[in-house]
Amino acid sequence: MRIEHTYRPHLTLDTKKVEPLTIDASRIVKLAELSPVIDGKPDVTKISTIDLEKLAQENRYQRIVFKTASDVYDQMKPTWEASKEYLLAQLIPLIEKFIHSDRIVISPQFYSQDDLRRRIVLTLSMQTIVQHIWQAIRKENAKFINPVFDRERPIRSTGEMRTWYTAKPCERTQKSHINVCVFDSTWEATEAFELDRNENVESWVKNDHLGFDILYIFEGIVKKYRPDFIIRLTNGTHLVLETKGQDTQQDKTKRQFLKEWIDAVNDHGGFGRWASAVSFDTGDIRGIIEAAMKR
């Protein structure tokens, strides 16, 4: 259902090990037109222009640091075992260190060179910054990660899938526990063809109607991530495979939570060895499988 963290009582953050956070300032709205709402509809005759540069005057670095620390505190508080006040007191200097570090890369560079504009970008990118630094702190300071199971159905199987109907293209399989694989794209069809014929694949399944979802948090919202394939290799490894063309920040966040899920399951030890990979091209699937076999 989820992964719970047990944190060390004394938090640390090595900014040199934190992945750089790139913020594209050109995609942030810096001018807003607002109008009053009358009877549920905006009155366009009374639109006023608000210059968002005023935000920078109101949001000094201390305010940005404290707001970020407050949001990270809300994320960590449920599983923090020590004093909650001590948690907040530790977060503030760590986040201040990160905010002033070179790990936040703002493009175009024009916005990072000017202090006023940099604060505007930081203020308007608060959710992204909170997400990034929370994951960094959690990764460095987690003493234990524990999988939390559904009490009613702790273990699920491909054998539990019921019959369902679709108008999408599909093909019968040879090595899958599900007799027919439904294709959402020609890319998936190509990779399913390879999985059925690859000598290192013992069995596989398209993750469709199985209920295999990874919960993740992006921009403060809890969402579900559904990888494309689960593959059991002949060396016993279970490989979770995602097919992805364009890589976005949200996709990277999904993979971080998937890695956390895999680490927790491997630490548990009761479900064999698990690994994950991403296919960025229809021709790389064989190389991905060979690399997983060597691991």
> Model-level pTM?
0.76
Q: Is the pLDDT of residue 293 over 90?
A: yes
Name the pLDDT band for 235 (thresholds 50, 70, 90): very high
| 43 and 35 Cβ atoms separated by less than 8 Å | yes
Task: Report which of 286, 292, 186 is spatially closest to residue 233, judged by C-alpha positions.
Answer: 292
Q: Is the pLDDT of residue 125 over 90?
A: no
Check residues 107 and 48 and name the one with the higher pLDDT. 107
Q: Is the pLDDT of residue 90 over 70?
A: yes
Strand 238-243 and strand 274-279: pairing?
A: parallel
Tell me what the mean pLDDT of segment 202-223 comes to.
88
Tell me what the mean pLDDT of segment 222-251 comes to.
91
Q: Tell me: the pLDDT tens digits for 12-52?
A: 999 999 988 888 887 776 666 666 767 767 665 665 665 65
Q: Is the pLDDT of residue 173 over 80?
A: yes
Q: What is the pLDDT of residue 226?
A: 93
The topology (CATH level 3) of 158-294 is Trna Endonuclease; Chain: A, domain 1 (3.40.1350)
Return residue ranges of the chain for CATH 3.40.1350. 158-294
Residue 130 backbone class (left: φ over 0; alpha: ψ -120 to 50; beta: rest)? alpha
Residue 285, burial from CB neighbour count under 10 angstroms (0-12, 13-18, 19+): buried
Sign of dihedral through CA atoms 28, 30, 35, 36? Answer: positive
Query: Average pLDDT over the chain, rounded to whole?
Result: 87
Q: At a CB cut-off of 8 Å and minimum separation 6, what does 160 contact?
A: none
Check residues 79 and 189 and name the one with the higher pLDDT. 189
| 166 and 150 Cβ atoms separated by less than 8 Å | no
What tokens does 68 get? 């970020």
Task: Report which of 285, 265, 269 is spatially closest to residue 277, judged by C-alpha positions.
Answer: 285
Q: What is the pLDDT of residue 5?
A: 86
Q: Is the pLDDT of residue 122 over 90?
A: no
Q: Is the pLDDT of residue 3 over 80?
A: yes
Q: What is the pLDDT of residue 109?
A: 81
Q: What is the pLDDT of residue 4?
A: 86
